[in-house]
Structure 1
Amino acid sequence: MTSSSDHANATASVSAVLVLRSDPDTDPEREEHLVRRLRSEINQLDIESIVPVAAGELPQGAKGVDPVTLGALLVAFSASGGVFTTLIGGVQNWLDRQTGRHRIAVTIDGDTIELERASATQQRELLDAFIQRHSSR
């Protein structure tokens, strides 16, 4: 028999802020296009919602965003079922397909990791540590 608190924990939602820090040579129109493509790809994953946010609207603890940031997205997803791992993998796959030196900062509960193209070993070590910290909810 499961209690209502067990059910609530099983369906708990987590929010992450994703901030695209585009290549310095990217013009604002191109950056906006990149953010729309990233949002579209993430929206294909098993997430609850994804919305663009202005720097002044970011949740408390979402550090590393300045007022001129164009590419901030607030993503809500289930804390269970491996959705977080899928989200991080999707972001990394998107970055790997880009030609510019773009980075994406991912912040959960004030903890930020900045993803960029790196060797497979470097990526795996960083991602494993970050995912482990936020998957034990």
Structure 2
Amino acid sequence: MGDDVRWVEIFVLGDDEFDAERVDRLARQLRSEFAEREFDTRPVAADAPGNSKGDAAVAGAIAVAVAGLGAGGMIPTLIAVLRDWLARRTGPERISVKVGDDSIELDRPSFSEREQLLQLFLAKHAEQ
């Protein structure tokens, strides 16, 4: 991969009702969906991000390699995978997308509202 590759960390978040095994299974499913779209991924050992809503007790995390973070390229596909994955959830699952020290949290009911925010968030990091 070239020098313009950035790793975007994605956390599948659970609350007190989620067990670590369930969150890990959900994170593996999401990672598999990225692999199907030919994204390079790797696991991330981490707790829930500090700015997560509620008392998030567990998080499953993966890192996704994205060539550039501008509006083109891999970003539309990354957003589509996240949108589709969240839309299929029946529970209160939510995700946190992190680039460097900055993050944004998304859940199913608000994803369509926040899709533009996610695009702006990732575009902001393309300039760094």
Would you say same fold, with TM above 0.5? yes
The sequence identity of aligned pairs, in percent, is 35
Alignment partner of 1:109 is 2:100 = yes
Find the counterpart in structure 1 of residue 65 from structure 2: 76
Deviations 1:60-108 (A, max 9, x none): xxx5389x74401121121175212311221121011101111111111
Per the normalisation by structure 2, the TM-score is 0.75
- Which stretches of structure 1, 4 residues or more, deviate above 6 A after TM superposition? none
Name the structure with the higher strand share. Answer: 2
> What is the aligned-residue RMSD (CA, Å)?
2.8
Task: Give distance in 2, aligned partners of 1:43 and 1:35.
Answer: 12
User: What's the CA shift for 1:131?
Assistant: 3.4
Find the counterpart in structure 1 of residue 25 from structure 2: 33
Gaps of at least 5 residues in structure 2 are none
Per the normalisation by structure 1, the TM-score is 0.70
Change (3 A) 1:51 1:25: same
Which runs of structure 2 are paired with 1:119-130 in the superposition (5 Å)? 119=110, 122-130=113-121
Task: Give distance in 2, aligned partners of 1:53 and 1:69.
Answer: 13
Alignment partner of 1:91 is 2:77 = no
User: What's the CA shift for 1:16?
Assistant: 0.9
Name the structure with the higher helix share. Answer: 1
Q: Max radius of gyration: which structure?
A: 1
Task: Give distance in 1, aligned partners of 2:27 and 2:103.
Answer: 19
Task: Give distance in 1, aligned partners of 2:21 and 2:99.
Answer: 28
Q: Quick one: which of 30, 52, 73 aligns to 2:43?
A: 52
User: What's the CA shift for 1:25?
Assistant: 2.3
